[in-house]
Structure 1
Amino acid sequence: MKATIYHNPMCGTSRKTLEILRNEGADVTVVEYLKAPPSRQELERLYERAGISPREGLRAKEPLAEELGLTGEEATDDEILDAMMEHPILIQRPLVETEKGAGLCRPQEEVRKLL
């Protein structure tokens, strides 16, 4: 099975998710999204496929999210996506896509639903 993981090697959950994918024999494409962020259209497509909103895909615990006013209910999906394009650190990780679907794999065991 092919899988793509939007990965941050500094994140323990992301590393554990990648390990699960590899241990399950997935042919994994690793995208270090801080170095090569997805386009806005790609991120919108992934969120739609995962059945989540940009707000659910926001790394709200990142101090920058609060600094930019993205954690309040008044922040729109467009504002959140714009901020993610400018500051990829705001994209919650790990985001995984397989032929079965896409999902935000927090906790890492969530990835098993996509295998």
Structure 2
Amino acid sequence: MAADKGKVTIWHNPRCGNSRGALQLLRERGIEPEVVDYLANPPDRATLLEVATASGVGLRGLVRDKEAVFAELGLGGADDATLLDAMLAHPILINRPVVITARGTRLCRPPEKVLELLD
């Protein structure tokens, strides 16, 4: 899911303060990103793997371990394949916001991490 030059994509959850903050920082800099509601339109397996790798945090870093479903599924000691399957089945487990640009991909927690991706 490499970004086209100049294109910015954010995997966004409007109920998340970090996600709203990253989106606001982009817009304050005159960038109107493609906003992907990843809960309604989750990524496919290949895209999720690509983003986890490109972000530098891997699947373990991209999973929301504070979600109730994480504990319910017993994912604490899960391997990457199990985490991937769980994230695809339960997109709420995907951490946010993820911002994808031509300069790189980042999990923007805190939101100011988005500034690392801007010229």
3-state SS, counterpart of residue 27 of structure 1: coil
Residue identity over aligned pairs, in percent, reads 50
Partner of 1:62: 67
Structure 1 moving runs of 4+ over 4 Å: none
**For structure 2, which runs of at least 5 residues remain unmatched after alignment?**
1-5
- Aligned length, in residue pairs: 113
- Deviations along 1:82-102, one digit per CA (max 9) or x if unpaired, are 001100000000011000000
Counterpart-to-counterpart distance in 2, 1:53 and 1:69: 19
3-state SS, counterpart of residue 85 of structure 1: helix
Residue 91, structure 1, aligned to residue 94, structure 2: yes
Give the CA deviation at 1:69. 1.1
Counterpart-to-counterpart distance in 2, 1:11 and 1:27: 19
Residue 8, structure 1, aligned to residue 28, structure 2: no
3-state SS, counterpart of residue 69 of structure 1: coil
TM-score by length of 1: 0.94
Partner of 1:105: 108
Counterpart-to-counterpart distance in 2, 1:48 and 1:27: 25
- Deviations along 1:21-52, one digit per CA (max 9) or x if unpaired, are 11112230000000000111001111111112
What is the aligned counterpart of 2:54 among 38, 42, 49?
Answer: 49
Give the CA deviation at 1:2. 2.1
TM-score by length of 2: 0.91
Matched letter for residue 84 of structure 1 = M
What is the aligned counterpart of 1:32 among 29, 37, 42?
Answer: 37
CA RMSD of aligned residues (A): 0.9
**For structure 1, which runs of at least 5 residues remain unmatched after alignment?**
none
